[in-house]
Amino acid sequence: MDFTVLSLFPELMASFFEHGMISRGIEKELIAGHCINIRDFSTDRHNTVDDRPYGGGSGMVMKPEPLKAAILSAKKRAPESQVILMTPQGTAFNQKKAFELASNNEGLIFVCGRYEGIDERIYTTLVDEEISIGDYVMTGGELAAMVIIDSVARLIPGVLGSCESSKSDSFVDDRLEYAQYTRPEAFENSKVPDVLLSGNHEKIRLWREKSSLQRTFLKRPDLFEKTVLSAEEKTILMQWCQEIEALVRA
């Protein structure tokens, strides 16, 4: 999977591509990261990439010509790539969208805005999709691109190490992930649940299923509206209700 980021601050992205899981994925040649400086495509001697908005108002707007040239240059290397504009006005990014983008084998091109954003004519002609990482406004699209690339790259087979896995992650099945414990067995009067030390795989699976349901119920009940409860989930939740009832009556 090829990730190309068009930005006025490509050095921000370069450092992102040089660390952690992303750099390991690049070393293994499972992913590739490219940065393109939009300023390299300005055509005047001052390297101008922005101008005042028509109609007046504060701030500057990114000019269409350098942006178009930068997008076309990225597309020359990967013609079938999907062009994604980072904007607070786009579709909200989530795990489902991460899976969808990870299945795009052709590559992704991220256009990062700065200032007041980019000229409207780029949205309408060269962008395939607009994505937002949340209902807040940042000064630039680079952090948004990093968020998306990070969550998409870890879904590409082989990018996560053999002992890491994305299968049970939160949001994968519209549930939060179960509680996790590691050594030591006892920490400040709190012990790891016995079942996790039992070696009984079926009991551990059921405990994790219950933990996942409890956490989802307590922290993100809205997720239950997205999928129907399975028969096993219903049984586990019923048992939990009975346990709570017994506690209340005691």
Q: What amino acid positions are annotated as catalytic residues? A: 88, 116, 154, 169
Q: Who's near 243: CB < 8 A, 6+ residues apart?
A: none
- CA–CA separation, 171 and 187 (whole Å): 29
Compare residues 63 and 114 and give the one whose CB is closer to ligand SAM: 114
What count of other Cβ atoms lies within 10 Å of the Cβ of residue 93? 20
Q: How far is the CB of 119 from ligand SAM (least distance, A)?
A: 11
Q: How far is the CB of 241 from ligand SAM (least distance, A)?
A: 39
Would you give the DSSP letter of residue 173? T
Q: Which one of the spans 133-141, 173-181, 206-214, 231-239 is the region binding ligand SAM (CB under 6 A)? A: 133-141
Question: Burial level of 16, CB count in 10 A (0-12/13-18/19+)?
Answer: buried
Q: From residue 68 to residue 107, what is the string marking binding to ligand SAM with x (rule CB under 6 A)?
A: ------------------xxxx------------------
Interface residue with ligand SAM among 10, 25, 107, 141 (CB under 6 A) is 141
Per the CB < 8 A criterion, the answer to whether 198 and 205 are in contact is no
- H or E element in which residue 212 lies: helix 201-219
Name which of 99 and 115 has its Cβ closer to ligand SAM. 115
For residue 66, which of 79, 83, 47 has the smallest C-alpha distance? 47
Pick the stretch among 43-51, 135-143, 198-206, 231-239 that binds ligand SAM (CB under 6 A). Answer: 135-143
Told to check if 153 binds ligand SAM by CB under 6 A, we report no
The distance of closest approach from Cβ of residue 174 to ligand SAM in the complex, given in angstroms and rounded to an integer, is 23
Q: Considering the rule CB under 6 A, would residue 66 count as an interface residue with ligand SAM?
A: no
Rounded to whole angstroms, the Cα distance separating 50 from 136 reads 23
Chain residues binding ligand SAM by CB under 6 A are 86-89, 112-114, 116-118, 132-134, 136-141, 144
